[in-house]
């Protein structure tokens, strides 16, 4: 896996962020099992609850294009600290992408590598939906 290319793709996607209210730009780059990179950025509207995070945009785009198996996601921001996916994105990623690698990249393009389950310990999953 070319982590540098994945991280660069996330930073490039961040440029398309539509964040007029928070001014908090986020880009995401999702690596499919076949090696394709699908990107997304955060898209805000005046009603914050209708806003979409970069991670979900990238994942939903990938699935809508027929990709269902993933290896990693890079998440890039402008701030000089590592910003993980929000709780909603962590749950969606776990459900639809599994315990993939997560590469966090800050405004200086430094990186930190974790597994998704490190960011979402004790997750709710489909095994809990089955009743005896």
What CATH number does the domain containing 29 carry? 3.40.140.10
Residue 68 has phi, psi (to 5 degrees) of -130, -5
Structural domain includes residue 126 = no
Using CA atoms, how far apart are residues 30 and 12, in angstroms rounded to an integer? 13
pLDDT for the residue numbered 123? 85
Q: Where are the alpha helices (DSSP H) in 1-132?
A: 3-14, 54-64, 87-97, 116-119
pLDDT for the residue numbered 130? 75
Encoded tokens for 37 = 């990179």
Is the per-residue pLDDT at 132 higher than 80?
A: no
pLDDT for the residue numbered 1? 67
Structural domain includes residue 104 = yes
Query: 127 falls in which pLDDT band (50, 70, 90)?
Result: confident
Encoded tokens for 88 = 């909603």
Q: What is the mean pLDDT of residues 56-83?
A: 98
pTM: 0.94
Is the per-residue pLDDT at 88 higher than 80?
A: yes
Domain span holding position 75: 3-121
Q: Which residues pair with 76 in a beta bridge?
A: 27, 105
How does the average pLDDT of the chain come out, rounded?
Answer: 95
Structural domain includes residue 127 = no
Query: Domain count of the chain?
Result: 1
Structural domain includes residue 130 = no
Structural domain includes residue 30 = yes
Encoded tokens for 90 = 């962590």
Structural domain includes residue 128 = no
Structural domain includes residue 97 = yes
pLDDT for the residue numbered 122? 86
pLDDT for the residue numbered 126? 82
Q: Which residues pair with 39 in a beta bridge?
A: 29
What digits encode the pLDDT tens for the residues 112-126? 999 999 999 988 888
Q: How far is CA 40 from CA 17, 76, 77, 119, 127, in A?
A: 8, 11, 12, 20, 29
Catalytic residue among 8, 44, 55, 65: 55
Is the per-residue pLDDT at 74 higher than 90?
A: yes
Q: How many DSSP H helices and E strands does the chain contain?
A: 4, 5
Structural domain includes residue 34 = yes
81 catalytic per annotation = no
Is the per-residue pLDDT at 79 higher than 80?
A: yes
């Amino acid at each position: 896996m070319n982590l540098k290319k994945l991280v660069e793709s996330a930073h490039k996607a961040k440029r398309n962020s539509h964040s007029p209210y928070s001014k908090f730009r986020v880009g995401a780059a999702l690596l499919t099992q076949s090696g394709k990179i699908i990107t997304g950025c955060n898209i805000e509207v005046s009603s914050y609850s209708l806003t979409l995070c970069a991670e979900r945009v990238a994942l939903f785009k990938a699935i809508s294009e027929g990709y269902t198996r993933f290896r990693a996601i890079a998440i890039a921001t402008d701030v000089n600290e590592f910003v993980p996916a929000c709780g909603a994105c962590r749950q969606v990623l776990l459900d639809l992408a599994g315990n993939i690698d997560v590469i966090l990249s800050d405004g200086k393009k430094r990186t930190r590598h974790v597994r998704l389950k490190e960011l979402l310990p004790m997750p709710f999953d489909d095994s809990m939906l089955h009743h005896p």
